[in-house]
């Protein structure tokens, strides 16, 4: 009987997912790490397993000439996207849903002033398109897209890799 109990415990331990693989399902944006349950270290394959097929996959044209051309995988709703250059490795994550905020309460819907109050002067500002600017905080792996004044999207990327995503 004792052997059966020990085997049962071993089987349960082997089948239980490790704690590190459990991802909080929250709306927290963590610069350099994650947006909600979606983490930078995930692959597109893992994101598809988690969210189902992307509602849109598009090859992006770049004004900054950073080859190869990136692909945006979009899941809508909630307006979440992952950008990849090789089809699997996530370069950065993007969300446009106002429910997602950093611990400093910055996210879609925030003002430019709120972003600068929380994070200071950006490493760089780059044009996205007429009227839209990207404020990049390279050292923490965070960027916001500002359309006029309101933030319309936040990006999370690996700290120090901003230049591989955008020219500045």
pLDDT tens for 134-158 read 999 999 999 999 998 899 999 999 9
- Residue 145 within any structural domain of the chain: yes
> How much of the chain exceeds pLDDT 90, in percent?
67
**Residue of 1 and 60 predicted with greater confidence:** 60
pLDDT at residue number 167: 87
- Residue 104 within any structural domain of the chain: yes
pLDDT at residue number 1: 52
Q: CB within 8 A of 107, min separation 6: which ones?
A: 29, 95, 98, 99, 100, 101, 151, 154
For 136-139, which contacts have Cβ atoms below 8 Å and span 24 or more sequence positions? 136/162, 136/166, 136/168, 137/31, 138/162, 138/163
Q: What domain range is 42 assigned to?
A: 22-163
Cβ distance 108 to 124 under 8 Å? no
**Residue of 44 and 5 predicted with greater confidence:** 44
Structure tokens at 118: 């929380």
User: What is the mean predicted confidence (pLDDT) over 7-28?
Assistant: 54
Structure tokens at 12: 């349960």
- Residue 90 within any structural domain of the chain: yes
Q: How many domains does the chain have?
A: 1
pLDDT at residue number 70: 86
- Residue 157 within any structural domain of the chain: yes
Per-residue pLDDT tens digits for 54-113: 999 988 776 555 556 789 999 998 889 999 988 899 999 999 999 999 999 999 999 999
- Residue 109 within any structural domain of the chain: yes
- Residue 4 within any structural domain of the chain: no
pLDDT at residue number 14: 43
Structure tokens at 16: 């239980």
Cβ distance 74 to 80 under 8 Å? yes
Q: Model confidence at 10, in pLDDT bands (50, 70, 90)?
A: very low
- Residue 2 within any structural domain of the chain: no
How far does Cα 41 stand from its chain's mean position?
10
- Residue 91 within any structural domain of the chain: yes
**Over 60: is that where the pLDDT of 16 sits?**
no
Count of positions (residues) in the chain: 168
Q: Which CATH number belongs to the domain containing residue 95 in this structure?
A: 2.60.460
pLDDT at residue number 93: 97
**Over 80: is that where the pLDDT of 122 sits?**
yes
């Amino acid at each position: 009987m004792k052997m059966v109990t020990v085997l049962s415990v071993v089987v349960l331990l082997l089948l239980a997912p490790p704690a590190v693989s459990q991802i909080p399902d929250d709306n927290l944006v963590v610069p350099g790490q994650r947006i909600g349950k979606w983490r930078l270290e995930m692959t597109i394959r893992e994101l598809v397993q988690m969210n189902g097929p992307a509602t849109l996959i598009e090859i992006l044209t770049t004004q900054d000439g950073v080859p190869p051309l990136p692909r945006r995988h979009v899941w809508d709703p909630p307006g979440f996207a992952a950008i990849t250059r090789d089809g699997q490795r996530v370069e950065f994550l993007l969300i446009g849903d106002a429910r997602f905020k950093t611990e400093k309460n910055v996210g879609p819907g925030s003002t430019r002033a709120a972003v600068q109050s929380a994070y200071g002067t950006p490493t760089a500002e780059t044009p996205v398109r007429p009227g839209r600017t990207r404020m990049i905080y390279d050292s923490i792996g965070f960027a916001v897209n500002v359309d006029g004044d309101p933030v319309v999207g936040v990006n999370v990327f690996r700290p120090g890799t901003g230049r591989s995503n955008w020219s500045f």
